Structure 1
Amino acid sequence: MTDATTDAMTDAASRANRAMMDRDLASAALGMVVERDDPGHAVVSMRVREDMTNGFHITHGGLVFTLADTAFAIACNEDDTVTVAAGADITFLKSTRAGQTLTATAVRRTRSGRTGLYDVTVVDEHGDAVAEFRGRSISTNRTI
């Protein structure tokens, strides 16, 4: 593959992801920031607010999952084909609190036919692992 072909694929994926994220009201409401969106690789950050904590005053696990899922969605939408989650698992490793910034980094492990496997690591502002997420994707017949 030539550099020009790779650049064109990256540009198409970035445009598709920008369009997807422009319509993603949940991620916007949570204050997520896309730091990187390359085919098969994405980085998304989110500052934890008080209203994102549970009854123990720690970050709600569902919101950690949501951050990881957003990075996964960006990484697996590598072209103009709509790709969605077929399933995902998360392991929580460390609790966090309001005021902290979490960063999710998603990386493609494999993609074959219509399916893919992606790993997402969520870290805090010190680089300590907060969660590990594994997502399984499936490409649809729709285009963005």
Structure 2
Amino acid sequence: MTLTPKERAERSAQAMWAPDRASHWMGMALHEVDEGTATLSLEVQPHHCNGHGMCHGGVTFALADSAFAFACNSRNRTTVAQQNSITYVAPAHQGDTLTARAEERALNGRSGIYDVQVTNQTGAVIAEFRGLSRQIKGRLFDETGEDAS
């Protein structure tokens, strides 16, 4: 059976989501994946906030990083972060719902570039994240009926 790119992305996400304890622990929700794209969200809880009463930058980064991970693994090729950076544009606060939308910008061989925009429930931009990926050995699930690792 040949999978469409969207089916492959969804199967890849299923393979990653169940054992992704960090994203679950932080309270993230996976909404949509397709080839080279992913959307996740997080409602900012009291334990996500720093001493200034704002969402901790590391929480925003983690949400963007998770969206990046699902986007760059959408082709069923084990892919990891090579380098990531984030620019914080506005603060998020307790009760805000943050949404991270990752989009592939370039894929050449085993290296990719992905941009992730994090917005709040009103659509205000909270952060811009850029992730550089690198495919490594392995697959997330077996597409052939044989061991694909």
- TM-score interval for Structure 1 and Structure 2 normalised by the shorter chain: over 0.9
Equivalent position of 2:113 in the other structure: 117
User: Identity percentage over the alignment?
Assistant: 40
- Does residue 39 of the first structure (1) align with residue 38 of the second (2)? no
Q: Does 1:131 align with 2:127?
A: yes
Query: 2:83 matched to which residue of 1?
Result: 87
Structure 2: gaps of 5 or more residues: 141-149
Instruction: Output one character per residue of 1:54-92: Cα deviation in whole Å (capped at 9) or x when no partner.
Output: 011100000000000000001101222100100100000
1:20 equivalenced with 2:16 (yes/no)? yes
SS in 2 for 1:81: coil
CA distance in 1 between partners of 2:139 and 2:100 (Å): 26
* TM-score for both structures, normalised by structure 1: 0.93
**Code of the aligned partner of 1:38:** D
- Equivalent position of 1:63 in the other structure: 59
Secondary structure at the aligned position of 2:115 is classed as strand
Structure (1/2) with the larger helix percentage:
1
- The alignment of Structure 1 onto Structure 2 pairs a total of residues equal to 140
Q: Name the structure where strand makes up a greater proportion of residues.
A: 1
CA separation in 2, counterparts of 1:80 and 1:40? Answer: 11
Contact 2:33–2:74 (CA<8 Å) still a contact in 1?
Answer: no
